[in-house]
Amino acid sequence: MEQALDTERLKELLEEKALAHDTLDASRLRQIREDMERAEARRLQPHFIESYFIEAFKLLGGSIREREPRRYEIKHVPAVIRNRDRMIGTGESLLTRYERICFEKDLISVPGKPLATFVYPGHPLLDATTDIILERYRDLLKRGAVFLNESDPGEEIRALFYLEHSVADARTDKHGNRRIISRQVQFVEIDKYGHTRNAGYAPYLDYRPLTDEEKALVAPELEQSWLHADLESQAVKYAITDLVPRHFEEVKNRKQELVTKTIAAVKDRLTKEIAYWDHRAEDLKAQELAGKVNARINSAKARARADELQARLQRRLEELERERQLSPLPPVVKGGALVVPGGLIARLKGKRQEEPELFARETRRVEQIAMQAVMDVEKSLGYVPRDVSQDNCGYDIESAIPGTGKLRFIEVKGRLEGAKTVTITKNEILTALNKPDDFILAVVLVPPSDTAPQADPWKIEDPARNYGNMKGKCQVYYIRKPFTREPDFGVTSVNYDLGELLANAERPLSAEERKKSI
């Protein structure tokens, strides 16, 4: 068989005709695997939907009670939600009560308990609730808010803008509007010096509203002149120059390739059908002239079929050409907020005795040393680490496992020796729960600056050793699966006892060592 078939030609045909790649080179496959790993770390988990729905449902007058772990009973669905479903619903109707609902498929059926209704995006109960919430409170996004980022030790207020960006093709819907094929929500932060940056995919998870006391303390700080400048235009400009091109290229590359192959497949299939019916019409015409009449089909019907297929081919090609014509729409600012760092509140409350500049320098020193220590550990273990701490994605380091496309997601917490607690943000906890087997909490105990060695101080000489009791050096601890449950809806960060966390720590292991230990 190997000699009878031209296998190389078969591979070329598969590559040419396939609407999607089934075979990829190793580097491309590795890149796709890494992208999937990142997407999985940020995916919308059931607990996101669960915590949101419970709060929104209560806000609209509903009553929901947990009967079994993560299974709930709704004795009465408010009329406002049922009425909204009648207006926007297209599928099953809402019930007036639900004996059980759940947000995870595994919990639909529990032995000895009633079957639960599975609530997910697209279910009328969730869709109607969300539609009402958006209608009532969408304007609050534009009005803005003031948030506190407790985990930020700095003292400079920042402006946060949330923008929506879409990519459309040349097709239109029944209302004449261009069809949106991709939509992203993007976050942009601006500081007092005019520096603009991408704030990450969900920075709000780590923020909370200010208390009345904090509002009174920070009120004078919110009158700074730069906060009254045209910051919205600056955020839009940054999105246009930095975020929009990235989104557009990502969509364009994927869409153009798919449309090109679809056009080739459509032409090939319909052209063959048109040729067949053209030939069939001519053949039937000849038979009719010879006095042979076909009772089932005549030449006129065959010709009409060929003409119909020709018109269909033309329409389909025109539609595909419109799909190919992509263009980015202008980013639209959906809302904004001011972000107050926890360090500013601490100073205003008199809880910070150090000079702000000294405190900031010491904090940066500890963070930089901790990051470098973990980067050195990962390199010495044979991994390929990359610093993503500025992307605010729920972890600080992406460490690639060579040749596999697998990633290790490492959150680095640098603490001075003698510290008793460590603060973990909600974003970091949720990322850890999304990727429990690949997430590592790295705690680095850093010695005071006057005891730290000066020459090449953080070089890791033996990555397999336990870093405890290393006088004058960093102490690096790896903690796997550090969290068991997501924080409550209103929680933005959690303080953990450092001693308890380190009790579950392990020394950093290479991939081979970890396989042997398992």
pLDDT tens digit sequence for 220-261:
999 899 998 899 999 999 999 999 998 999 888 888 888 888
Could you tell me if residue 456 is left (phi over 0), alpha (psi between -120 and 50 degrees) or otherwise beta?
left
Give pLDDT, residue 133: 94
CB 127 within 8 A of CB 148: no
Give pLDDT, residue 299: 86
Residue 151 confidence class, pLDDT cut points 50, 70, 90? confident
Residue 500 confidence class, pLDDT cut points 50, 70, 90? confident
SS3 content of the chain, % helix, strand, coil (to 5): 45, 20, 35
Q: In whole angstroms, what is the distance from residue 128 CA to residue 486 CA?
A: 26
Give pLDDT, residue 357: 58
Local structure of 20: helix, strand or coil:
coil
What is the rounded average pLDDT of the residues 264-273?
90
pLDDT tens, position by position, 309-363: 999 999 999 999 998 899 999 999 999 999 999 889 988 888 654 555 555 567 7
Is-above-0.85 flag for pTM? Answer: no
Q: Among the residues of 204-243, which ranges form H helices?
A: 212-218, 231-238
What percentage of the chain exceeds 70 in pLDDT? 85
Segments making up each domain of the chain, as ranges: 46-134, 138-246+331-338, 254-328, 354-517
**For 74-78, 353-357, 380-384, which range has the lowest pLDDT when averaged over its residues?**
353-357
Give pLDDT, residue 115: 93
Q: Which amino acid is at 139?
A: D
Query: Can you say whether the dihedral through the CA atoms of 72, 120, 187, 133 is positive or negative?
Result: negative
What is the rounded average pLDDT of the residues 395-406?
87
What is the rounded average pLDDT of the residues 382-386?
91
C-alpha distances out from residue 436 to 72, 152, 348, 480, Å? 26, 25, 39, 8
CB 482 within 8 A of CB 501: yes
| pLDDT above 70 for 55 | yes
Residues 6+ apart with CB under 8 A from 467: 473, 474, 475, 476, 477, 507
Give pLDDT, residue 240: 93
> Where would I find the beta strands (DSSP E) of 175-269?
178-190, 196-198, 208-209
Question: Which of the given ranges, 30-34, 43-47, 428-432, has the highest pLDDT on average?
Answer: 428-432
Q: In whole angstroms, what is the distance from residue 201 CA to residue 352 CA?
A: 31
How many CA within 13 A on the CB side of residue 146? Answer: 18
Q: Say which CATH class 354-517 falls into.
A: alpha beta
Give pLDDT, residue 467: 38
Q: In whole angstroms, what is the distance from residue 386 CA to residue 67 CA?
A: 45
What is the rounded average pLDDT of the residues 54-69?
93
Average pLDDT over the chain, rounded to an integer: 83
